Amino acid sequence: MISDLTIRLETSADYREVEYITREAFWNHHVPGCDEHYLAHVLRKSSCFIHELDFVAVQQGRIVGNIMYTHARIVGDDGVEYPVISFGPVSVLPEWQGNGVGSALILRSLSEARKLGYTAVLIYGDPAYYSRLGFVAAETYGIGSSDDYFADALQALELKKGSLNGKQGRFFEDHAYEVDEKASAAFDRSFPPKKKQEGLLSQLKFLEHVSARKPRK
């Protein structure tokens, strides 16, 4: 565990460095290459982006991690739309992973989100990691994916107790998460070349997670 880690809001001077660490963290992790650094680049300009929850983790003057949040919604089975928030990408430089930076970023931003009055967070992620931070399967609240599946990877956390009760329905992330592959590839070329690899264990695990789904009804 790092003792002198600082967590502060991202500034425009940090943008490129954050995109770099996002690329380093995600490269070949879920799929060969990655789009998350491009996502970080475009999300900030999107109306769904929550600037007050855009945090960086700084260690010895260097940014080693980042978390970004967006507005999202549950479309309830009762036809009502319920606002929630979501996060991602969350990234820690590979050489700093496993030292509590990711947990510190997530816990600090969740606490700020609670103070700002947000009531619930829904994310797609590895249940083995997020359950350690208090997340439960969204299925617990009857909440499924936008295409109506209960997905193991869809995790929920109430920031206000009881806020997800009676809100069964489908979770929708903002359209800003739909990546334009060509634009992403062009953006990636502005960084030093990096080799894409297939068949890595983390990629197989990711595939396993995203395919763990069952129809909601």
Binding residues vs ligand COA (CB under 6 A) = 25-26, 29, 90-92, 97-103, 125-126, 128-129
Q: Which is nearer to ligand COA, 128 or 201 (CB)?
A: 128
Half-sphere exposure of 68 (CA within 13 A, CB side): 25
Nearer to ligand COA, 26 or 49 (CB): 26
Q: How far is the CB of 99 from ligand COA (least distance, A)?
A: 5
Measured from the CB atom, the residue of 20 and 76 that comes closer to ligand COA is 20
164 with 136: CB under 8 angstroms? Answer: no
What distance lies between CA 107 and its chain's CA centroid?
A: 13
| Rounded distance between C-alpha atoms, residue 33 and residue 28, angstroms | 5
Q: Which residue is nearest to ligand COA (CB)?
A: 102
For 169, phi then psi, to 5°, come to: 165, -150
Q: Minimum distance from CB of 105 to ligand COA (Å)? A: 7
Q: Which DSSP string do the residues of 101-135 spell out, in sequence order?
A: HHHHHHHHHHHHHHHTT--EEEEES-HHHHGGGT-
160 or 194: whose CB is closer to ligand COA? 194
3-state secondary structure of 14: helix
In angstroms, the CA 90 to CA 10 distance is 13
- For residue 162, the minimal CB distance to ligand COA (Å) is 26
| Least distance between ligand COA and beta carbon 121 (Å) | 13
Least Å distance, CB 126 to ligand COA, is 4
Distance CA 48, CA 14 (A): 20
Nearer Cβ to ligand COA (102/144): 102
